[in-house]
Homo-oligomer: A and B are copies of this chain.
Amino acid sequence: MKKILIAALFTGLAVLLYAQQPPKPSVVYTDAFSLRLIGQVFPLKKSYHRIDTAAYADFSPGIKKLFTNGAGLAISFKTNSPRITAKWCVTNARQYDNMTPIANKGLDLYIKRNGKWEFAGVGRADAVCNEFVIVQNMDRTAKECLLYLPLYDEVKSLSVGVDSGCQISPGKDPFPKRVVVYGSSITQGAAASRPGMAYPARLSRALGIDFINLGLSGSGKMERNVADMLATADADAFILDCFANPSPEQITERTAYLVKVIRAKHPDAPIVMIQSVIRQSGNFDSTVQRLVERQNENTLKEYQKLKKEGLQHLYLISGANLLGNDHEGSTDGIHPNDLGFDRMLQVIRPEIIRILKSNQVIK
């Protein structure tokens, strides 16, 4: 009885406190297509796909499907709203067992402060269609915002909500120069904990350049038709992080074509090959260990052959120590976790900066 009385008292207090607070303003939604979508290598009209796969009929069904995923896409907008919410729908595709639903199907918001992009909040996904308050209780100054789309699902619709009476408008393109990153599931973002933690996104924010995410989970195998498409991209540099998916033999067969078809269309653009991350499942599994060794041996041989042929502005970053040496840098023995990605960035970021500087892509 005493407990019930106390509970009633607390409930009464809560009601009182609630009644004393000013009512929250209602949320007004804006379709994200009327804001600015960034991250597409060939800008598409009203589509959250990375590539218009209808234009590439000969791509495999698996590759087409993966190009509908939102990895690397983001909405740039400005608002003075103290609260930012989102409503979005993805597909009923399965939740991957090595990713958080936030990374797989959710959203990730960054806001610019003192010239730096800083994490503000996430959109949590637990259904096909979701609505979530990403951040609230902010001051009312105008802010530049970047809302990252899900890494491993297709966005069917997206609206951004702000408090009624506040402004929202398209942002500028924060990353005028572009580097195409072609690769594997690791490029696509498996297994970062949220969309903004995929390593190309982290490079974009750090360098102020759009590292366009063309990671293709399990399917970054340097097929000729994909290579031909990559070569037509309007980009200042190319990163080839695609040596984890092909067999060692495919690396030998396909690397030269990929590099040369890009070089033919971009005579001076730096092309950076990154050897495969060492698979942590190969820590005890000798078959896996040997496979990655052979992939990386053949990648090195192809690089050396191309250099010997006189190919300029071609670089290789070693995969030897990308995840550190304590074997804790993966989620599942294959894909880096955020710790592994951070270690990888500590190796590749200064190398990439050095290469982009020496080629006058950045100052």
Please tell me if A92 contacts chain B, counting CB pairs below 8 Å.
no
Q: Mark A132-143, 1 if CB is under 8 A from B, else 0.
A: 000111110000
* CB-based contact A137/B331 at 8 Å: no
Q: Which of B111, B139, B286, B328 contacts A119 (CB under 8 A)?
A: B328
Tell me whether A332 and B97 are in contact in the complex, defined as CB-CB below 8 angstroms, given that A283-B118, A286-B139 are known contacts.
no
Contacts of A287 in B (CB 8 A): 136-137
* CB-based contact B101/A332 at 8 Å: no
Please tell me if A281 contacts chain B, counting CB pairs below 8 Å.
yes
* CB-based contact B137/A286 at 8 Å: yes
Instruction: Tell me the minimal C-beta distance from A137 to chain B in angstroms.
Output: 4
Please tell me if A76 contacts chain B, counting CB pairs below 8 Å.
no
Number of A residues, CB within 8 Å of B: 50
* CB-based contact A122/B285 at 8 Å: no
The interface stretch among A29-37, A313-321, A335-343 is A335-343
A340 to B342, CA, bound (A): 11
A338 to B340, CA, bound (A): 9
* CB-based contact B191/A138 at 8 Å: no
Please tell me if A168 contacts chain B, counting CB pairs below 8 Å.
no
Contacts of A331 in B (CB 8 A): 100, 102, 122, 193-194, 338
**Residues from 320 to 352 in A contacting B, C-beta threshold 8 Å:** 326-328, 330-333, 337-342
Q: Interface of A with B (CB < 8 Å)? A: 94-102, 106, 111, 118-122, 124-126, 135-139, 191, 193-194, 197, 202, 280-281, 283-288, 326-328, 330-333, 337-342
15 chain-A/chain-B pairs, Cβ below 8 angstroms? A94-B126, A95-B95, A96-B101, A97-B124, A98-B100, A98-B102, A98-B124, A99-B100, A118-B284, A121-B284, A136-B285, A137-B286, A194-B332, A337-B337, A338-B340
